[in-house]
Copies of this chain bind each other. A is one copy, B any other.
Amino acid sequence: MAHTASISQLQTPPWALVNGELVPYTDVKIHIGAEALTRALSVFEGVKGYWDSAGEVFSIRTPRRHYDRLCRSASLFHIPVRFSYEEFLAGLSKLASELLVPDKDLWFRPTMYVTHGHWGEATEADLVVTAFSQRKLDPDPMRLGVTSWRRASDLVLPTRVKSSANYVGARMARIEVRRLGYDDAIMLNDAGRVAEATGACVLIAQRGRIVTPPTSESCLDSITVDILESVAKDLGLTFERRPIERTELLAADECGLAGTISELTLVAELDGVEYEQSGLLAQVRQRYLELMRGDLVLPDVDLVPLVDASREALAG
């Protein structure tokens, strides 16, 4: 599987969910006067649902944490949240009932678009959920380059908030490195250290340890990274969170990208230098997928089955 296309640009699903109601996907539009467009005011989550290894039950990974993080993003941007966790989860289930098919997982993008209000006064947002199928194939290892553009710092455009505005810089970065034939860009933070890729966090393996930058290095407060930490520790590995310099990244034994959609994708090369794949990150990745498929259970990681959606999909 190549990395040159976003999952969402290849599919046009029939339905989306707007404030809990199914609406034809192509009809979901935002008026140009809304702050979602005039001031780039939208926050979102990427949520992943997995079929278990038997192909019988479809479950959402850690939906509560996604709901909490979406609420936190909204709160930091002064956007009121008008739906409960139960409504959020029911929405995912409702949309999955329409879009889920056997043999493919689903990636959901719940987004809050500010539709009314200005400058924090009388702000209202719609919750729109879209979902896209994802095949269970392994991605090819990625080829990365370090971009000359920078990740915003916390006081400028907080990485802690998953917002569309963060992708303006990410897109410049990716365009820059794609001219080189790379798949994605490593972005440095304002101190010149490793922040993250344009849409995923960075992990390295070095002398048997796994290291990733803490959130104070301008990377997302990643739920997937937290789960990978649990997986790694379950495997008996040391897992550190500390600043990583660019040359440490270049000189690492291995490198991987982590995110809900990337899961743990191996990196084949950076800036033209190939990593020797020691197998450590591949092992963590394998265990992560077992965890997602229900073949491994860890105390901190919950999968919430969507029983009705599973049934309908299998019946479908």
Chain A: residues with CB nearer than 8 A to chain B?
Answer: 5-6, 8-9, 12, 16, 25-26, 28-33, 35-42, 72, 75-78, 111, 113, 118-120, 128, 130, 146-158, 160-161, 163-165, 167-172, 174-176, 178-180, 188, 190-193, 214-216, 221, 242-248, 250-251, 271-273
Contacts and interface: CB of A to CB of B under 8 A. Distances in A.
Copies of the chain in the assembly? 6
Contacts of A31: 26, 28-29
A258 B78 CA distance: 28
Nearest to A241: B242
Contacts of A113: 32, 37
13 contacts: A6-B119, A30-B30, A32-B111, A37-B37, A40-B163, A40-B165, A41-B171, A154-B192, A155-B188, A158-B246, A160-B251, A176-B271, A216-B248
A179 B178 contact: no
B32 A37 contact: no
B193 A190 contact: no
A179 to B, nearest CB: 6
A163 to B, nearest CB: 7
B154 A193 contact: yes
A243 B214 contact: yes
A257 to B, nearest CB: 16
